[in-house]
């Protein structure tokens, strides 16, 4: 069921999250607006996914993505958060993030400790890196979706 909607292409503005402190953990997650999240298939599984991501018309990088229940809305609404596997010089709130979600890694889990959470995410990142090096996944990195003229990116979020 998780795979039915994949690959899933999506573009939208990066908004302020709800301060889970992802950046403090060394794993910042770029959050999509509620409007973009609402446009997702309503039956898409929560959990951790991998794929490709690009900020503005920058380079395309590997990413891990979480689709989860948004505590800000008492878990009635989903949140979609992308951790791009790249070190950026600056934050990019307000910029357009383009992603293609390719594969599912695992369902959401609760962890006993912060250490356990962080090490699970590190494993997710390693799994994403391995998967995305496969030829069938590498080819989506070159997809035209990531190479639109600038005006189109802005109008087509
Ligand atoms: P918030 O709760 O506002 O989402 P986070 O701690 O999750 O805060 O940090 C997310 C922000 O960090 C992103 O919106 C983006 O501007 C910035 N950022 C910097 N590097 C990355 C990265 N590699 N992946 C995702 N976001 C990043
Ligand atoms: Mg975040």
Q: Report the separation in Å between the CA atom of 80 and the middle of ligand 2, taken as the mean of its atom positions.
A: 9
Domain residue ranges in the chain: 8-143
Q: What is the DSSP letter of 46?
A: P
* Alpha helices (H) along 39-147: 114-132, 135-141
Angstrom distance (rounded) from CA 134 to CA 52? 13
28 lines ligand 1 (CB under 6 A): yes
Measured at the alpha carbon of residue 111, what is the angle toward residues 3 and 40, in degrees to the nearest 5? 30
Question: By 3-state DSSP, what share of the chain in percent is helix, strand and coil, each rounded to 5?
Answer: 30, 30, 40
Q: What is the pLDDT of residue 156?
A: 47
Angstrom distance (rounded) from CA 68 to CA 7? 18
Tokens 């996944």 sit on residue: 137
| Closest protein CA for atom 21 of ligand 1 | 28
94 lines ligand 1 (CB under 6 A): no
Question: Residue 21: nearest ligand to its CA?
Answer: 1
91 lines ligand 1 (CB under 6 A): yes
pLDDT per residue over 38-77, tens digit each? 999 999 999 999 999 999 999 999 999 999 987 777 788 8
97 lines ligand 1 (CB under 6 A): no
Query: Strand 96-106 and strand 78-84: pairing?
Result: unpaired
Q: Are 61 and 42 in contact (CB under 8 A)?
A: no
Q: Report the separation in Å between the CA atom of 21 and the middle of ligand 2, taken as the mean of its atom positions.
A: 8
pLDDT per residue over 83-141, tens digit each? 999 999 999 999 999 999 999 999 998 888 889 999 999 999 999 999 999 999 999 99
CATH of the structural domain 8-143, one choice from 1.10.3720.10, 3.40.50.300, 2.60.40.420, 2.40.30.30: 2.40.30.30
Tokens (6 digits) for 83:
């951790």
Q: Report the separation in Å between the CA atom of 157 and the middle of ligand 1, taken as the mean of its atom positions.
A: 19
Exposed, middle or buried, 53 (CB in 10 Å: 0-12/13-18/19+)? buried
């Amino acid at each position: 069921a998780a795979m039915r909607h994949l690959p899933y292409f999506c573009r939208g503005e990066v908004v302020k999250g709800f301060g889970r402190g992802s950046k403090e953990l060394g794993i910042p997650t770029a959050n999509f607006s509620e409007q973009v999240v609402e446009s997702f298939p309503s039956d898409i599984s929560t959990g951790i996914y991998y794929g490709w991501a690009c900020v503005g018309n920058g380079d395309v990088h590997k990413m891990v993505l979480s689709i989860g229940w948004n505590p800000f809305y008492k878990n009635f609404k989903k949140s979609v958060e992308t951790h791009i596997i790249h070190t950026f010089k600056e934050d990019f709130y307000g910029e357009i993030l383009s992603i293609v979600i390719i594969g599912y890694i695992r369902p959401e889990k609760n962890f006993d400790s912060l250490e356990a959470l962080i090490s699970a995410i590190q494993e997710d990142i390693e799994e994403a890196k391995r998967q995305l090096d496969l030829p069938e996944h590498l080819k989506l990195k070159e997809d035209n979706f990531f190479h639109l003229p600038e005006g189109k990116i802005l109008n087509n979020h």
